[in-house]
Chain A
Amino acid sequence: MQLIYEKSVSGRRGVMLPASDVPSAASLPQNLLRADTANLPEISELDLVRHFTNLSRRNFSVDTNFYPLGSCTMKYNAKVLENAAALFAPFHPLTALLPGGDSLCQGSLGMLYDLGQMLADITGMDEVTTQPLAGAHGEMTGMLLVAAYHKAKGNRKKYVVVPDSSHGTNPASAAMAGYEIITIPTAPYGDMDLELFRQAMNGEVAAVMMTCPNTLGLFNPYIKDIADIAHSHDALMYYDGANLNAIMGKVRPGDVGFDVVHLNLHKTFGTPHGGGGPGSGPVGVKKSLIPFLPMPRIIHDEVDGKLKLQTDNEQSIGRTANFFGNFGVMVKAYTYMIMLGREGLIQASEQAVLNANYIKEKLKAYYDLPYDKTCMHEVVFSASNQLAKGVHAIDIAKFLIDKGYHPPTVYFPLIVKEAIMIEPTETESKQTMDAFIEVMIEAARLAENSPDSFAAMPVTMPVTRLDETRAARSQTVCYLG
């Protein structure tokens, strides 16, 4: 398909601008002006609409295909969420920071405040900041809070402990807060090795970052012991909320000893993933960390019952983003939460776990299951049986594309060879999963009988397998025509 720049015709105009109703001013001095107008597309509105409509048709998406991408919680995105967010489109964030402005924004501030309260209840935390713009941004914010906590106490801390199954963002975010990383291997039972963890802990550890259930989809039964050991060294427990969809209403991070959590609203609370963002990564903390939260902070004035903004606080880590976070995404998450309510959220977690276990049982005769026990919301297989025939996880992924399924996450977590990580979510029907299971079994049979046939796949897409080496070497990231 042509690039939009290749469809441009010199001199063609698109959307008409408002006419000027003021006199034309004297031009800016020449030395401030650009020599040539930026060479943007010149295309009619109809051609523009066709271009992007046709581009969209070159995507798999939740609304068109089963999308069991592990660790990403690709659940259905309810349409009313979009309508709700559109209501709040016209409001300028700085209005709230003007003198008397907060009283003009009680609706927006109210949504943020209520959302924070609900997230605090779900996670067992005392207060939530909505400022972080995505999960990884929440992690960084959380680690800056950890650093501020230790600094205020005069603690000298140097390290952050992570299990080897962690998301890459965990160590990267800890590094943003100036910490060095200690990595703990996974034990044969599928969780961070408790003994090695105990040995690694010392007074210089600032925090332990955990995903629970972890990226293998397993709930760590020793989590309380880990928290107790960490706290005995005055290290804080950090909860990566990527997998919260498994446990709503069952267990709360705050109750098992976590001090800081970040949430991925785009995963757990059903907001669309947008082709890679925008997300939203609120951070919840226990009381001991509230003084360090980013500014501005929304507070409830007991006297007049209004919401106000606190902008000054010496101990705060400062600002981590422009304003109040990805507000539009939060409206969607809020809408989702009040619509499902207490029982709906519990049911979401229960059926997410049921669906993952159903797929696990149906496929374990065909794919190696390195950690064979009850999983939570996702299950991690290995294509090691298929590898013996020369078929890799990526080959199975390409087979699935030809069958109309978005592949599961492959090659993550790093600790499972040829990993295939399946997260069906609660919104998929039994019929959809049964059909998917059949296709996965078909892939396993094909690997057995005709392993060479995978190399050409996929054949049903606009392109076949792409040369990633060439892309990395040529570094063509901008159209030069």
Chain B
Amino acid sequence: MSEIYFTKEHEWVKVKGNSAVCGISAHAAHELGDITFVELPEIGKKFKQEEVMAAIESVKAASDIYAPISGKVVKVNMELEDAPERVNESPEDAAWMVELEIDDSGELTRLMTQEMYDNYLQTL
């Protein structure tokens, strides 16, 4: 069973052991509208927490995606390059974007749980 965490910038991260799978939340996908492009990082690249890791575009907006946790890219979801609409269809599942190998799981304490994120969305 993996645990899910969220950032204020609306990324989600599912943690299982040393692996962190990341994407953007359903709320973010809805706000951006129809996604037309996802730019993914190269495998092997390292990111610090909150560093820009990927980018996403809709017709009228462009948005950076920040690493929810520090780590090294081990996998990216190549399917999104040809089918960006998957982000709208299944933002928190099939449209995962990047899998990171976690540097320091202590950083998870800086993220929000599902309940905290739901409350946070109420404040926006």
Instruction: Choose, from A148-156, A219-227, A336-344, A468-476, the stretch at the interface.
Output: A468-476
Task: State whether the Cβ of B36 lies closer than 8 Å to any Cβ in chain A.
Answer: yes
Q: Complex formed: what's the CA distance from A469 to B37 in Å? A: 10
Q: How far is the CB of B68 from chain A (nearest CB, A)?
A: 24
Chain B residues near A468: list those with CB within 8 A: 59
Q: Encode contact with B along A453-476: 1 for CB under 8 Å, 0 otherwise.
A: 000000000000000110011000
Least Cβ distance of A397 to chain B in Å?
14
Residues in chain B near residue A411, CB distance under 8 A: 60
Main secondary structure of the interface of B (DSSP, over half): loop
B84 CB within 8 Å of chain A: yes
List the A side residues contacting B57 at CB < 8 Å: 472
**In the complex, B85 has a CB within 8 A of chain A:** yes
Contacts of A473 in B (CB 8 A): 36, 84-85
Q: Is B34 an interface residue (CB 8 A)?
A: yes
A468 to B58 CA separation, bound complex (whole angstroms): 10
Q: Taking the nearest CB of chain B, how far is it from the CB of A198, in angstroms?
A: 28
CB distance from A472 to the nearest CB of B (A): 4
Nearest Cβ in chain B — how far from A181, in angstroms?
14
Interface flags, A144-174, vs B, CB<8A=1, else 0? 0000000000000000000000000000000
Within the assembled complex, what's the spacing in Å between the Cα atoms of A472 and B32? 14
Tell me, rounded to whole Å, the shortest Cβ–Cβ distance linking A318 to chain B: 32
| Chain A facing B: main interface SS | helix
Which partner residue on chain A sits nearest B57 by CB separation? Answer: A472
Q: What is the bound-complex CA distance between A411 and B60, given in angstroms?
A: 10
CA distance A468 to B59 in the complex (A): 7
Q: What is the number of residues of chain A that contact chain B, defined by CB distance less than 8 Å? A: 5
B4 to chain A, nearest CB (A): 28
Q: Give complex CA distance A469, B59 in Å.
A: 6
Which A residues touch B84, using CB under 8 A?
473
CB of B43, distance to nearest CB on chain A (Å): 25
Bound form: Cα–Cα A473–B58 in Å? 10
Specify which chain B residues have a CB less than 8 angstroms from the CB of A469 in the assembled complex.
33-34, 36, 58-59
A residues within 8 A CB of B33?
Answer: 469
A397-412 interface code vs B (CB 8 A; 1 in, 0 out): 0000000000000010
Q: Which residue of B lies closest to A469 (CB)?
A: B34
Query: How far, in Å, is A394 (CB) from chain B's closest CB?
Result: 10
Binary interface encoding of chain B residues 82-95 relative to chain A, with 1 for a CB under 8 A from any of its CBs, else 0: 00110000000000
Q: Considering the complex, which residues of chain B in the window 15-71 have a beta carbon less than 8 Å from any beta carbon of chain A?
A: 33-34, 36-37, 57-60
Query: How far is A468 from B60 in the complex, measured between Cα atoms in Å?
Result: 9
Q: A446 to B65: give the CA distance in the assembly, Å.
A: 40
Nearest residue in A to B33 (C-beta to C-beta)? A469
B88 to chain A, nearest CB (A): 10
Residue of B nearest to A468 (CB): B59
Inter-chain CA distance A472–B34, complex, in Å, is 10
Minimum CB distance partner of A473 in chain B: B36
Q: What distance in Å separates the Cβ of A380 from its nearest Cβ neighbour in chain B?
A: 19
The residue on A at minimum CB distance from B88 is A469
A296 to B59 Cα, complex, angstroms:
41
User: How far apart are A111's CB and chain B's nearest CB, in angstroms?
Assistant: 42
Q: A113: shortest Cβ distance to chain B, in Å?
A: 43
Q: Within the assembled complex, what's the spacing in Å between the Cα atoms of A469 and B85?
A: 10
Expressed in whole angstroms, the Cα–Cα distance for A364 and B33 within the complex equals 31
Q: In the complex, A220 Cα to B46 Cα: how many Å?
A: 45
For B34, what are the chain A residues with a Cβ–Cβ distance below 8 Å? 469
Interface centre among B33, B34, B57, B58 (most CB of A within 10 A): B34
- A473 CA to B33 CA in the complex, in Å? 13
Q: Considering the chains assembled together, what is the distance between the CA atoms of A472 and B60 in angstroms?
A: 10
Within the complex, the shortest CB–CB distance from B11 to chain A, in Å, comes to: 22
- Inter-chain CA distance A468–B34, complex, in Å, is 9
In the complex, which residues of chain A have a beta carbon less than 8 angstroms from the beta carbon of B36?
469, 472-473
Complex: how many Å from CA A473 to CA B88?
14
Q: How far is the CB of B21 from chain A (nearest CB, A)?
A: 25
- Which A residues are CB-close (under 8 A) to B60? 411
Name the distance in Å between A172's Cβ and chain B's nearest Cβ.
13
Measured CB to CB, the nearest residue on chain A to B83 is A473
A-B contact pairs, 14 of them (CB 8 A): A411-B60, A468-B59, A469-B33, A469-B34, A469-B36, A469-B58, A469-B59, A472-B36, A472-B37, A472-B57, A472-B59, A473-B36, A473-B84, A473-B85
Closest 8 CB pairs of A and B: A472-B36, A469-B34, A468-B59, A473-B36, A472-B59, A469-B59, A469-B36, A473-B84
Given A411-B60, A472-B59, A473-B85, 11 extra CB contacts under 8 A: A468-B59, A469-B33, A469-B34, A469-B36, A469-B58, A469-B59, A472-B36, A472-B37, A472-B57, A473-B36, A473-B84
